[in-house]
Amino acid sequence: MTPTPLLFLLLLGLMGARATVDLRTAAAMAAGLCKTRPTDIVFIIDSSRSVRPSEFEQVKVFLAKVIEGLDVGPNATRVGVVNYASRVKNEVSLKTHRTHAGLIKAVTKIEPLSTGTMTGLAITFALNVAFSESEGARVKSPDISKVAIIVTDGRPQDNVKEVALRARDAGIEIFAIGVGRVDMNTLKQMASEPLDDHVDYVESYSVIEKLTTKFKEAFCVSDLCATGDHDCEQVCISSPGSFKCACKDGFTLMDNGRSCSACSNAATDVVFLIDGSKSVRPENFELVKKWINQIIDKLDVSETKAHVGLVQYSSSVRQEFPLGRFNNKKDLKDAVKKMGYMEKGTMTGQALRYLTENSFSASQGARPGVTKVGIVFTDGRSQDYIGEAAKKAKDQGYKMYAVGVGNAVEDELKEISSVPTGEHYFYTADFKAMAQIAKKLQINICQEEDPCECDSLVKFQKKFVLIVGVLDQILLDSMSKRIALLENKIV
């Protein structure tokens, strides 16, 4: 039986679904594709008494790993280290070490000063001394970047705003990393714009190493596709200093220029269940909202296709907006941006019960016969039992994704997520890494072919073949009789 065009397309779809090669990952693993531009980098590290010796060791490991990813050399990247507390000590000058090994060895020998926290004094020292030509800094030039990376865990005992402004006006790009109970306003006063790219926060020194990749990529200037520094969902095509996105065969590039869809005609109801507990912190809650909007960008939002609802929970549950209220991306994203931060506890089980009992009901805008997707985000252990509600969500046929950050419990994430869990749960220690999760999380829901329609098609084809066979036989018999009559007349 000759396959119809519809069956042929179905076969192609199955083949595409099994293609598991991640072009971006393969490119990023290729060696030698990224070099750092010529840069003078000075690390300014807080070793005040609030930084324990074991924590200071973790800072040094972080420095060493960032240095490993730099293209170190006299004509490439030069590295200096300033250590500070109540006083400032120039541990490594930009002119001192010109190899990875020498730099890393010098970093391992740095000892904490263990007094106060004079961050403004340290920035002043970096501006006047560490970045001076006598200490190895190069003459100011458009071809050579000057970067200061400040690591601190406390509130400075002096003024940082004015001296940081002077440093930035002098052409120094400042990254500010805060740890633990750091004062976020101080970080913002020190850092360069845009603040989203230059201010980082980690809960403790034990996870500061997670920022290594960010800084390796920040100084890479060559193949943006190879380093993964792009937003392409499937295929990234490099061009000098830039890139463009494309899709694999069988997929279509969406209007945002980054996402790909295999099933743009599929209607889907998607509900976000977002943890707004006090452990998230206001600045991280803003990152969560950006993450939600990254995923919305990947959806084909319209009256007939993807509908999105949003629920926030802490000690209680609050519906921000139901399914179907907004049917275009702009209105949806604006509504997400306006979401207020609840704070308080983490009642994930209660939130999951709300999802199963309310969010996907017809009264809340859910459509019958449409695929239902739940995306749960949390940053900590649930304060109530989640097992029964998580099971009910999956038993009701919802496709469940679980995303955890920081102190989230991976066993809970797996319990919430659909199978295979490896494709439906994600975890990262750092809120800043959520953008990578948004790239990986796929919600391409295809409408399944009605098996009745397929059976009918097969039956029709069998009947058609049978009829053609009968007609062929009739025509053959008729032609044979005519030929016999003609032969008799000739004789």
Residue-level pLDDT at 200 = 93
Query: How do 77-84 and 88-92 pair as beta strands?
Result: antiparallel
Burial class (CB in 10 A: 0-12, 13-18, 19+), 20: exposed
Could you report the per-residue pLDDT of 237-259, keeping only the tens digit for each? 876 456 788 887 656 677 778 87
CA nearest neighbour of 43 among 25, 29, 61: 61
Alpha-carbon distance 24 to 288, whole Å? 24
Burial class (CB in 10 A: 0-12, 13-18, 19+), 93: buried
- 362 DSSP 8-state letter: G
**Residue 396 is which amino acid?**
Q
Distance CA 197, CA 481 (A): 88
Q: How many CB atoms lie within 10 A of CB 324?
A: 15
Helix or strand holding residue 22 (H, E): none
Per residue of the chain (491 residues), what is the pLDDT tens digit?
444 444 333 333 433 433 332 333 333 333 344 566 789 999 999 999 999 999 999 999 999 999 988 888 888 899 999 999 999 999 999 998 888 899 999 999 999 999 999 999 999 999 999 999 999 999 988 878 899 999 999 899 999 999 999 999 999 999 999 999 898 999 999 999 999 989 999 999 989 988 888 887 777 665 667 656 677 888 888 764 567 888 876 566 777 788 776 654 568 999 999 999 999 999 999 999 999 999 998 888 999 899 999 999 999 999 999 999 999 999 999 999 999 999 999 999 999 999 999 999 999 999 988 899 999 999 999 999 999 999 999 999 999 999 999 999 999 999 999 999 888 999 988 888 888 888 888 775 554 444 444 455 445 555 555 665 656 666 666 666 666 666 666 65
Q: Which residue has the tokens 């396959």?
A: 3
Q: Please, is 101 exposed, middle or buried when counting C-beta atoms within 10 Å of its C-beta (0-12, 13-18, 19+)?
A: exposed
Contact 309, 269 (CB under 8 A): yes
Q: How far is CA 197 from CA 177, 396, 433, in A?
A: 11, 41, 12
Per-residue 3-state assignment (H helix, E strand, C coil) for 297-310: HHCCECCCCEEEEE
What is the spatial distance between Cα 262 and Cα 259, in angstroms, rounded to a whole number? 10
Separation CA 307–CA 299 (nearest Å): 9
Our measurement of the distance from residue 378's CA atom to the centroid of its chain's CA atoms, rounded to an integer in Å, reads 15
DSSP state of 128: I
Q: How far apart are CA 270 and CA 262, in angstroms?
A: 17
Phi first, then psi, for residue 243 (nearest 5°) are -165, 165
Chain centroid to CA 10 = 31
Write down the residue that tokens 């002043």 correspond to. 124
pLDDT at position 454, please?
45
For CA atoms 418, 424, 428, 433, the dihedral sign is negative
Burial of 158: CB neighbours in 10 Å, binned 0-12, 13-18, 19+: middle
DSSP 8-class letter at 379: S
State how far the Cα of 111 lies from the Cα of 91, in Å rounded to an integer.
9
Q: Which residues make beta-bridge pairs with 151? A: 45, 177
Tell me the longest C-alpha to C-alpha distance in the chain: 127
pLDDT at 74: 87
Which residue, among 237, 197, 233, has the nearest Cα to 214 in the 3D structure? 197
Tokens matching residue 348: 């994930």
pLDDT at position 450 is 45
Listed in sequence order, the DSSP H helices in 1-143 are 5-17, 23-29, 53-68, 100-108, 119-125
Q: How confident is the model at residue 7, as a pLDDT?
A: 37
What does the block give as tokens for 175?
A: 């990254």
Spatial separation of the C-alpha atoms in residues 172 and 82, rounded to whole Å: 15
In the prediction, which pLDDT does 379 show? 93
> Do the Cβ atoms of 443 and 295 come closer than 8 Å?
yes
Say which residue the tokens 């805008």 belong to.
Answer: 365
